């Protein structure tokens, strides 16, 4: 119980520091740019709504922490009439000179710019300390091809990967012409795809490497899994590293050693633990030849499986190997980290508005999902929290620059339209648009968060219900 409490307190602390810090950095950008450009700053708030506590600085600015932790704002009455969201202004705007177009663009864009600066600083830190991952997630090599795939409606269908003729060992290089170099990148790019055939069947063009040849393979994804994403029924390949051989085991007797890397069984690629076990079971106790890599040398070692009980108590053929998780630390450059996050964010956003895509708001994550992400990363490695914070900041920067009223990009769009037409847009029009879109934005956050909560409850119940099945 103590460990549970402390781990959750640790997660809450990390959420406050890194997620709250990301919001703070964004608003700090607006604040510093506004002060630099000589604008009046009335309020600096983390969160919306009624204040939890506040104080007034010597600079005349009210600093506050508010109850709704869905963002923050800097009250700049010279730039935008946001009284419906930020409260009434005490400034005498009639006596103040209107800000220039350059000032508006600099101040509105400073929040996203500071998020990118913060992300870059964290990316430099990750570059130095390393990013934890596994060999399977750090490549796009196929290790398992499922014969069937469970659809979102609970039924099963032939795996699209089988229909497309994909093979174990294929390396996926691109989806619909968009390059991918990690398994997560492949999954997200596939899910965000919008390809359709003439008869409206989902379609994805996969560029793969197979035995040194580059091939283009057309697959027809299905909506699968409980969340209904585009999938084709493949899993990544693992690097099967021997952790140790069990005492008196067939593998130990045959001379298999710790740190041997299993390459194949009877000539069939051993790209996944489940696949390796399945091949051994098919042998029905007959000798199998394990091809291993040992210190750079390839060896073929015959092993005779022995009938015994596995961890579930089932009688199966065993060779007596325990595998070591191929846990690795990579050091991607800061520029690659930012580019990867920006690319994937843009692909997901494009999928939301592209006809033919199956992405929708219910597939996104709001504050609840973000908090859960921080909690999950905190349970594994603090370096993953840094990685996730970089992703959040890149997302915040890109999202806030969208030309939507209430967001920074909306303010910039209004300023640009006013500049082109030679006079500002009517203040009442802007205020109304801001209020309407603020309601829509909060409604969207609540809607998305409801799905976050459902996923959290569903995943929490899964370990409890699984043994009863």
Going along the chain from its start, the domains and CATH numbers come out as 2-131+384-468 (no CATH), 136-236 (2.30.42.10), 240-325 (2.30.42.10)
**Closest to 289 in 3D by CA, of 277, 304, 269, 307:** 304
> φ, ψ for residue 328 (rounded to 5)?
-130, 160
Residue 218: HSE in the Cβ half-sphere, 13 Å Cα cutoff: 6
Q: How far apart are CA 104 and CA 78, in angstroms?
A: 10
**DSSP class of residue 395?**
H
Residue 286: HSE in the Cβ half-sphere, 13 Å Cα cutoff: 6
> φ, ψ for residue 234 (rounded to 5)?
-125, 155
Contact 34, 107 (CB under 8 A): yes
Contact 326, 379 (CB under 8 A): no
How does pLDDT run across 150-191, given as a tens digit for each residue? Answer: 998 889 999 999 999 999 889 999 999 999 999 999 999 999
Contact 304, 285 (CB under 8 A): yes
- Say whether pTM exceeds 0.75: yes
How does pLDDT run across 252-311, given as a tens digit for each residue? Answer: 999 999 999 998 899 887 777 877 888 889 888 899 999 999 999 999 999 999 988 877
Handedness of CA 37, 438, 116, 415 (dihedral sign): negative
What pLDDT is attached to residue 374? 92
Q: How far apart are CA 316 and CA 279, in angstroms?
A: 12
Three-class DSSP category at 285: coil
Three-class DSSP category at 380: coil
Contact 311, 322 (CB under 8 A): no
For the record, the structure tokens of 340 come out as: 């990867």
Three-class DSSP category at 173: strand
What's the angle, vertex CA 66, arms to CA 64 and CA 72, rounded to 5? 85
> φ, ψ for residue 278 (rounded to 5)?
-65, -40
Q: Which residues of the chain, if any, have pLDDT below 70?
A: 1-7, 81-94, 462-469
What pLDDT is attached to residue 466? 41
How does pLDDT run across 213-232, given as a tens digit for each residue? Answer: 999 999 999 999 888 999 99
Beta bridge partners of 62: 43, 56
């Amino acid at each position: 119980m103590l460990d549970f409490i402390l781990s959750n307190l640790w997660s809450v602390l990390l959420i406050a520091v890194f997620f709250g810090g990301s919001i703070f950095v964004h608003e700090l950008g607006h604040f510093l740019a506004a002060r630099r450009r000589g604008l009046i700053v009335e309020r600096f708030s983390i969160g919306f709504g009624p204040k939890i506590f506040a104080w007034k600085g010597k600079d005349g600015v009210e600093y506050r922490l508010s109850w709704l932790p869905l963002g923050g704002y800097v009250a700049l009455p010279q730039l935008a009439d946001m009284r419906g969201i930020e409260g009434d202004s005490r400034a005498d705007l009639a006596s103040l000179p209107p800000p220039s177009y350059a000032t508006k663009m600099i101040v509105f864009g400073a929040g996203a710019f500071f998020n990118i600066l913060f992300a870059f600083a964290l990316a430099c830190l990750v570059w130095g300390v390393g990013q934890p991952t596994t060999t399977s997630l750090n490549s796009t090599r196929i290790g398992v091809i499922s014969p069937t795939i469970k659809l979102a409606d609970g039924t099963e269908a032939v795996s699209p990967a089988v229909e497309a003729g994909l093979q174990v060992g294929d390396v996926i290089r691109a989806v619909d012409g968009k390059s991918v170099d990690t398994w997560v990148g492949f999954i997200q790019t596939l899910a965000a795809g919008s390809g359709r055939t003439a008869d409206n069947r989902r379609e994805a063009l996969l560029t793969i490497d197979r035995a040194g040849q580059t091939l283009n393979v057309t697959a027809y994804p299905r909506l699968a899994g409980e969340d209904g994403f585009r999938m084709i029924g493949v899993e990544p390949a693992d690097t099967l590293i021997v952790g140790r051989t069990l005492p008196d085991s067939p593998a130990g007797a045959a001379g298999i050693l710790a740190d041997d890397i299993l390459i194949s069984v009877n000539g069939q690629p051993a790209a996944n633990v489940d696949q390796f076990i399945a091949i051994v079971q098919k042998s029905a106790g007959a000798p199998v030849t394990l091809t291993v890599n040992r210190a750079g040398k390839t060896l073929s070692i015959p092993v005779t499986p022995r009938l015994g009980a596995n961890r579930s108590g089932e009688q199966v053929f065993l060779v007596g190997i325990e595998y070591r998780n191929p846990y690795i630390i990579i050091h991607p450059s800061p520029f690659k980290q930012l580019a990867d996050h920006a690319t994937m964010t843009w692909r997901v956003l494009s999928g939301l508005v592209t006809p033919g895509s199956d992405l929708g708001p219910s597939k996104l994550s709001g504050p609840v999902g973000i908090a859960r992400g921080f909690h999950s990363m905190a349970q594994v490695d603090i370096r993953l929290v840094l990685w996730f914070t970089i992703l959040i900041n890149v997302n915040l920067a890109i999202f806030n620059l969208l030309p939507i009223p209430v967001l920074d990009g909306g303010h910039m769009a209004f300023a640009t339209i006013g500049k082109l037409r030679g006079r500002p847009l009517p203040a009442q029009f802007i205020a109304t648009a801001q209020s309407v879109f603020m309601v829509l934005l909060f409604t969207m956050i609540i809607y998305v968060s409801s799905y976050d909560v459902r996923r959290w409850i569903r995943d929490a119940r899964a370990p409890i219900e699984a043994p009863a099945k």
